[in-house]
Amino acid sequence: MFVSKPIVVVEQLTYQIGSHASPLLDGISFRLEEASFTVLCGANGCGKSLLLRHLNGLLRPTSGNIYLHGRNIWDDIWDTRQQVGLVFQDPEWQLIGETVREDIGFGLENMGVSMDMRNEKISLIAQQLQIMHLLDRYQYQLSGGEKHLVALAGVLVMGAKVVVLDEPFNALDFHATQNLLLRLLELQEQQQTTILLVTHDLEKVLAHTNHLIVMSKGQIALQGTPEQILPQVAQFGIKVPTLNARKMNDLSWLT
Amino acid sequence: MVNIGFWSYQPRLSPLHCIDSRVKLLLLTLHNYALLQLHGAGLCVVAVGILLLFWVSHIGWTALLSSFKMGVYLALFVLLLQVFSVPRDPSDVLWQVSFFWLSYSQLTYIFRLFLLLLSGQWLISTSTLAQISQAVDSFLQYIPLLRRVPLGWLLRLSWGFFPNLYHNALQIQAAQKSRLLVPQNNFRRYLRYFSQAFMTKAIKKTYYITLAMQSRSFIGKPQPSNAPLQFCDMVAVLVFVVWHIAARYSPQMLAVLLLQKQ
Ligand SMILES: Nc1ncnc2c1ncn2[C@@H]1O[C@H](COP(=O)(O)OP(=O)(O)O)[C@@H](O)[C@H]1O
Ligand SMILES: [Mg+2]
C-alpha cells in the first residue's frame, strides 16, 4: 500500500463555550489524506457543524491544533480560508450577494480575481451545477434547494484544495445530488481536491469514500474504512445501508 | 413569494450598464446638486432626460412604480409635517386653507423630490452593489482620514442585510400564522413573540453574515478600483454635460424661442 501524505491534521481539538460547561468538542483527532473523500456522520447535535467551522478558521479551538500542509492554520488564516472552502449547513446564512451571480463571484472578488475571469468561472460552475438560469435572480427569490446549489457554487468556484460540505444533500433532489456528486468526484480526480462531507445518507456516497468518521457527543467514536466500521455504526444512531442486497461499490446515487 | 427587489439591480445588456460606476457615481452627485438649483423648464428637461435614461437602460416601466410609490409617501410625509408645523410664511393663505392646494414652490419641491428618487433608482438599477461600493471606496482613497474605512463594503453589507431581514420578518409572520397566532386574536402576545423571534434572527443574521464573509476570504479592506476609463465613459460624461447645460439654460432658450415667434 502506498503512503499518501495528510493534507489536514487535527490534533486533540477541544472546544468549549464558557468555563463550567462540558466541552462541545472533546479531544478530536483525525487526518485527511490528500485527494481523499471522507464522510463524517453522527447524530444530530453531536458537533459536526462546530468541527467543520474550525477547519476553515471560523472558530478558534479552546485547545488543540489544526494543521494544513503541516502548518498551523492560524499562522496564515487568509491563506487557510482560500485553501479550505466551507459550505454551510444552512444556505440561508451563507448567501451574501444580492443576485446569484454576485454571490457566486463574492469569494473570487475577495481573492482579487479580475472581472472577466470571474464571469468565466461563474459561467462554468453554473453550467456544471446546472443553475445557469438562476444567475440573474435575486437570492431571496430562490427555493431552498436552489439556494443550496448557489451556496455550493459560491464555494466550489473558489477552487479550494480542501472542500468541506455540511450536509450538502439535504435539500437536493435526485438529479442535483447526482450533479453534485459527479462534480466532487471530478474535482477529486482532476485537481486532487480533498473532500470532507457530512451526511446522514450513507447510501448516497459510501461507494466513493475510503474514510468514514463517526462522531458521538462531541467525540470521535469510530473511524476507518467503511468495510471496517460499517458493522458498528448502528449503535451511534446511523442508518446502516442494507448491505446484503448490494455490494459496497453500489452504495451511491450515481449507480 | 413577495418580490422585495425594490430599488435593486436590474441585470440587462444595455450600454448604460457598462459605464464605469465611478463615473456614474460622480455624475449622479453633480446631477443631484444641479437639480437643487433648477426650476420649471430646467426640471422638465431633466425629467425627460431621466425617462430617456430609463428607456435606454431597458429597465422597464414597472420598476419605476417603486420610486413613485416612495415619492408619494415622502411627499405626503413632508406635506403633513408642513401642515402640523407653524407655517413659515403666514401670508401664504392658500397653504393654510388646504394642503391639496400647492403653491408653485411646493410643486417644484415635490417634482425635485421625484426626480432625485428616480435618479438614485437609475444608478442602483444599472450597477451592482459591488460596483457601487467599489466606486465609493475608490473615491474615499483620496481622503486621508477615510482611506482605511471600508465604507463601500459596509454599504453593500447593509443593503443586502435589510431586504434579508424584511424577508425574515415575513417568514416569522408566516410561521406564526401557520401556528394560529394572528394579531387580531391577541395583539400584545403577537407582538411579543414577533419581536422576540425577530431580534434573535437579526442577531443571528449579523453573526452568520460575518462568518459567511470570512469563510469566503473577506478581510474587510476597501477594494478601490483603478481600472482605466473606457470610451463609453467619456461619451457618458459628454452627454451628461450637454444635458445639464440644456437644463440650466432652458428658461433662457425658451424665452428666445418665444420672442422669435412673436
Ligand atoms: N453557540 C452555541 N452555544 C451553545 N451551544 C451550541 C452553540 N452552537 C452549537 N451548540 C451546541 O453544540 C452542539 C453541536 O452543534 P452542531 O455542531 O451544530 O451539531 P451537528 O452535529 O448537528 O451539526 C449542539 O448540541 C448545539 O446545541
Ligand atoms: Mg450540523
SS in 3 state form for chain A? CCCCCEEEEEEEEEECCCCCCCCCEEEEEEEEECCCEEEEEECCCCCHHHHHHHHCCCCCCCEEEEEECCEECCCCHHHHHHHEEEECCCHHHCCCCCEHHHHHHHHHHHCCCCHHHHHHHHHHHHHHCCCHHHCCCEHHHCCHHHHHHHHHHHHHCCCCCEEEEECCCCCCCHHHHHHHHHHHHHHHHHHCCEEEEECCCHHHHHHHCCEEEEEECCEEEEEECHHHHHHHHHHHCCCCCCCCCCCHHHCCCCC
Give residue limits of the domains in chain A: 6-90+161-250
| pLDDT tens digits along A66-118 | 999 999 999 988 888 888 999 988 888 888 877 899 889 888 887 878 888 99
Q: Is the pTM of this model over 0.80?
A: no
- Which of A133, A138, A139, A143 is best to mutate for the B interface (most B CBs within 10 A)? A138
pLDDT, residue A41, reads 92
CA A24 / ligand 1 centre spacing (Å)? 7
pLDDT averaged over chain A?
A: 87
CB spacing of A95 vs B212 below 8 angstroms: yes
| pLDDT tens digits along A19-65 | 777 889 999 999 999 999 999 999 999 999 999 999 988 889 999 99
Question: A41 CB under 6 A from ligand 1?
Answer: no
Instruction: Assess if CATH 3.40.50.300 describes domain A6-90+161-250.
Output: yes
CA B208 / ligand 1 centre spacing (Å)? 14
pLDDT, residue B94, reads 42
Ligand 1, atom 25, residue with closest C-alpha: A45
| pLDDT tens digits along B211-226 | 888 888 777 667 777 7
| Ligand nearest to the CA of residue A44, numbered in listed order | 1
Residues of B in contact with A102 (CB under 8 A): 128-130
Q: Average pLDDT, stretch B51-68?
A: 84
Q: Give the lowest-confidence range in A133-142, A206-215, A244-253, B184-193.
A: A244-253
* pLDDT exceeds 80 at position B191: yes
Binned at pLDDT 50, 70 and 90, residue A200 comes out as confident
Percent of chain B with pLDDT over 90: 15
Ligand 1 closest atom vs CA A167: 23
| pLDDT tens digits along B124-155 | 888 887 788 888 888 888 888 877 777 777 77
Binned at pLDDT 50, 70 and 90, residue A243 comes out as low
ipTM, 2 dp: 0.71
pLDDT, residue B95, reads 44
pLDDT averaged over chain B?
A: 80
